[in-house]
Chain A
Amino acid sequence: MNDQTLTPEERAANLKGMGSSRKRVEDVRFTQGKGNYVDDIKLDGMLFGDFVRSPYAHARVVSINAEEALKVPGVLAVITAKDLEPLGLHWMPTLAGDKQMVLADGKVLFQGQEVAFVVAEDRYAAADGVELVEVEYEELPVIVDPFEALQSDVVLREDLDPAADGAHGPRKHHNHIFTWEQGDKDATEAVLAEADVVVEEMVYYHRTHPCPLETCGSVASMDKVTGKLTLWGTFQAPHAVRTVASLISGIAEHNIRVISPDIGGGFGNKVGVYPGYICSIVASIVTGKPVKWVEDRMDNLMSTAFARDYWMQGKIAATKEGKITGLWCHTTADHGGFDACADPTKFPAGFMNICTGSYDIPVAYLAVDGVYTNKAPGGVAYRCSFRVTEAAYFIERMIEVLAIKLNMDAAELRRINFIKADQFPYQSALGWEYDSGDYHTAWDKALKAVDYEGLRKEQAQQLEDFKAGKTRKLMGIGLTHFTEIVGAGPVKNCDILGLGMFDSCEIRIHPTGSAIARLGTISQGQGHATTFAQIIASEIGLPADDITLEEGDTDTAPYGLGTYGSRSTPVAGAATAMAARKIRAKAQMIAAYLLEVHDDDVEFDVDRFVVKGAPERFKTMKEIAFAAYNQAIPGLEPGLEAVSYYDPPNMTYPFGAYICVVDIDVDTGETDIRSFYALDDCGTRINPMIIEGQVHGGLTEALAIAMGQEIAYDEMGNHKTATLMDFFIPTSWETPTYVTDHTTTPSPHHPIGAKGVGESPNVGGVPCFSNAVHDAFRPFGLTQSHMPHDHWRVWKTARELGLHA
């Protein structure tokens, strides 16, 4: 059988297990155009649905007349809230404990809201029908400012009893959603009152959108003979969609099959449940035919999900020497017309309470007020674990503002406040237990790699040249040290709609020693089919190339909460290792039987079990797999498979040190990213090639957000950035080349020590780019200018600082 001439290292390399930059198995399909995305699905007799959307941000719907639309050849039905009401489907529950209109029920609350659903034989007829549905509106006063919303007499949500509590406690005003408080308010205010130095700043993280290249969509097919509903769609959490669909439609859960096919990027956009999904289901039930709904780009940017929109008022206290003594934050969170934030139930502002960042801050207080306005609902975590990006941006700006006040170098200020390596596990003032970290090592490595001192000297010289009129360019150095909190999460405190946030993996070993594994997660480009097979390969000693991985079909995959918040590796990755270990434990018994020794007398060696002290006596995993199916082993069931449902004991806390250099033309406001260095510590590294790719992509999304991307409204609630002409996505031309690096501090509680990495570059990248712009203007007195730092805003900042004189 397996020859003995190979060294253990060579045998391990053949497995392409953890640590290998294994090429992706997905790519053979994708590079030939053979992916299978939701819009590729084509079923016999399939119909198309399209929405009539509101042109107003706040209006009463007086009447809807579909007569002309129904005359269009090919248009079969026009569904309105009145049709859904008898089914109880005109409203749907949101992930945040609120409810949302599926179709306008008497009024609309944001521009682009779904008003009627036109069902037709093809997408062209549906579009024709949409044009001809006549809707009469009566305009209402529009509120787009969350601070104004809390003062206004205008009631946005007339369906809610103003005196009744919301999903997260008492409401202070008819446009108020919740107040969420963490930490010790009195102790923090006492520290602020007596501190040597206190700085206060309003840090705004603007509204943006995940905008994956594939928009959201679904295909619903109700088989009236079997009573079974099959729903394909762009779902980051297919099992949760099945449960929610069952609860709100009344169809028994075993009669619903949800399938997430290939997904063309998610970044949080595809976590929520949207009216289009519900309407395609209803339309399929009504017509008895499959119904497809796919957003266009405007629909996507206007209606399904947004991210951020946090006004963060901060106060930070420190000693004269720069030791931080307390942190205070009050956030006003603009949630739009419905509270559809995607957060674990007990965390209405997500993990915003990670806002003490990488620093040892003894006391802190955080309060968040959620507010209704006439904007789209959403509040998803755009490449982020539940508001961690907002928290990281807040603390990394506050540190910079404090450095200005203290007249200190911002790198040194960070260093003297970092949590020390020997303080882990570290209990933060706002309630988290950081699992592991070594921030000083990472920071020093980063500063050395970029020659930080040299950069500062060069910057000083350039400033002198600028003042002497020799150049019109300023140089900015952006620093960030971020700490993430990912891998939600322990079932004891994390659930979504009551579903605990565990995850799962089932592995079946076939008689010939190949395998299939199924998980409760779903890849959207992360390469799960490649990396999870690597975990199994290392754990049980079968080559990754012999392991098929499947996700996204609720009829076959074990129940899991899906992929977002960098939770796949920390939770489902752990489940994968645990299921593999169950298989290995049984394999050990089989090997011992075949080798006629006691179970304790064999040990695992890369791809085989060997008799202790006699390595020439062994059984390979392939031999063991066959034996599991052809030997009658006393006391053991035939077969070799296992399933694990993993409830993580804690979150994981990846971290990183990022440094970028930007050159700014003060006369045009143009910014040029000269260099970007990213050091990430995501614990144990499964596939370095994929990690690096994740970092490149996340940094580019961060570049977009920091430097130009926004969802903007005018005062009438008109959406101003609903096309890719107006909504900034960097091309290859303006995207810089990144330098990546790493340290490795494994998670002590994760079976393989992995922490997750997909979102780190977005969390750390945004403050790094933004800090670089601020840093360039620091000598001229700038403390805070809000993102995005597009050319116009940077030009305006230069003008306001008197640099255009």
Chain B
Amino acid sequence: MAKMHVKMTVNGKEVEALAEPRTLLIHFLREDLNITGPHIGCESSHCGACTVDIDGKSVKSCTMFVGQANGTDITTVEGLTNPDGSLGVIQEMFREHHGLQCGYCTPGMITRAHRLLQENPSPTEEEVRFGMAGNLCRCTGYQNIVKAIMASADMLNAQKEAAE
């Protein structure tokens, strides 16, 4: 099958590649770029394990062709680690509040939480629960995920205040 030329920014790095037009973005990320943080749980947009951030929106990368991502700016969970290699705030809060168990939904959860807290920096618990409802977890019952995101909001807001 004829390949198409794609170009995008992934976690701050420019990427150029040839890919079959029908290649799903999740497979391109995982198999061509070796970015295996985003996972595959359903291939039908229900579970959110494949969630990545594209041009400032949460996107389920299992139901998007790589061509549709041409020219975009993509962030995955790998891009949320601090430049010095330490855990980013949301990653640290998930660990602190036991917001993960098997770890399979975690990259999608953290990537979605990252965007949610940009959209709404001080959400109520109800808003967190509603805003995270596109990401399924089979292990935690969400209670500690919600706790981790609320704590992340507090910490990010405190950091912002300190910087101002």
User: A residues bordering B, Cβ < 8 Å?
Assistant: 23-24, 26-35, 37, 39-40, 42, 123-124, 211-215, 262-265, 267, 294, 296-297, 524-527, 689-690, 692-694, 696-701, 723-725, 729, 731-733, 735, 737-738
Contacts and interface: CB of A to CB of B under 8 A. Distances in A.
A30 B106 contact: yes
Contacts of B39: 37, 39, 213-214, 264
Contact of A696 (B20, B110, B130, B141): B141
Main DSSP-derived SS at the B contact region: loop
Interface string B27-70: 10011001111111111101101000000000000000000000
Contact of A265 (B23, B34, B94, B102): B102
A296 B40 CA distance: 9
Contacts of B136: 213, 724, 729, 731
Contact of A33 (B41, B76, B137): B76
Given A264-B41, A296-B42, 7 more contacts: A37-B36, A40-B30, A297-B41, A693-B144, A697-B141, A725-B46, A729-B136
B37 A34 contact: yes
Interface of B: 20, 22-23, 27, 30-31, 34-44, 46-47, 49, 76-78, 80-81, 87, 91-92, 94-96, 98, 100-107, 110, 128-130, 132-146
A42 B81 CA distance: 24
Contact of A32 (B44, B87, B140, B143): B87
Given A33-B38, A33-B107, A524 B102 contact: yes
Nearest to A25: B95
Given A32-B37, A731-B136, A732-B146, A700 B103 contact: no
B138 A267 contact: yes
Contact of A697 (B30, B47, B134, B139): B139
B51 to A, nearest CB: 11
B87 A28 contact: yes
A30 B100 contact: yes
A723 B42 contact: yes
Nearest to A210: B138
B100 A27 contact: yes
B41 A732 contact: no
A32 B81 contact: yes
B94 A27 contact: yes
A265 B39 CA distance: 13
Given A33-B37, A213-B104, A525 B143 contact: no
Contact of A526 (B77, B81, B101, B142): B101
Nearest to A27: B95
A724 B42 contact: yes
B144 A31 contact: no
Q: Which of A263, A264, A689: most chain B Cβ within 10 A?
A: A264
Contacts of B78: 32-34
Q: Which of B38, B130, B141, B146: most chain A Cβ within 10 A?
A: B141
A574 B81 CA distance: 38
A263 B103 CA distance: 9
A728 B44 CA distance: 14
Contacts of A735: 129, 141-143
B87 A31 contact: yes
A729 B134 CA distance: 11
B12 to A, nearest CB: 15
A689 B44 CA distance: 33
21 contacts: A31-B103, A32-B91, A33-B37, A37-B104, A123-B27, A211-B138, A213-B49, A213-B102, A213-B105, A213-B137, A214-B39, A267-B138, A297-B44, A525-B101, A527-B101, A693-B140, A724-B42, A724-B44, A731-B136, A731-B142, A733-B133
